[in-house]
Amino acid sequence: MAFSLIESLVAACVVGVLFVSLYGGITAGFGALRSARENLRATQVVLDKMETLRLYSWSQLSTFGTASSYIPASFTEPFYPTGTDFSASDVSTNTTGIGFIYYGTVDIADAGFTENYASSTKKVTVTVRWTNGVARSNSLSTYVGQYGIQNYIY
């Protein structure tokens, strides 16, 4: 049996639609993977800063926001942690292979409790923001007590 020209064109159109939808699915899958990697790295950066803050003493945490503070209020981290040193021009052109930059902030404030231990408790919030097509952020908050875990490591 021979196929007519119309049948062949319809079959070619069906195959074309299948390839376009397959390409769209692969593209969406890679986009979701990239987004998951960005979120995972942001979580790593936040946890790294939070674990660093856990090692500070109460007197060092209490001086946050003053001129004698041990803890910087803002920081930057590259997407690839093993990236080389970068400058502002390298970030915009992505010539060093470090990817984009995470911009983070650390905030240490009173806990806002009304109990009698409120003066010996602080709320620590670490936030990272990044833009790689879409502006996004990741944040983590915890409470630190004056007589908390940091006293057990000294």
- Looking at the predicted structure, is the pLDDT value of residue 147 above 90? no
- Extract the tokens encoding 50: 């939070």
Which tens digit of pLDDT belongs to each residue from 27-45? 999 999 989 999 999 999 9
H/E run at residue 141:
strand 135-145
Please give the residue range of the domain that contains residue 127: 5-152
DSSP 86: -
pTM: 0.72
16-22: average pLDDT: 94
Report how many domains make up the chain.
1
Q: Are 38 and 31 in contact (CB under 8 A)?
A: no
> Which strands sit side by side in the sheet containing 74-78, from one edge to the other?
74-78, 101-110, 121-131, 135-145
The CB density around residue 16, as the number of other CB atoms within 10 Å, is 10
Which tens digit of pLDDT belongs to each residue from 78-94? 888 765 554 544 444 44
Q: How far apart are CA 86 and CA 98, in angstroms?
A: 8
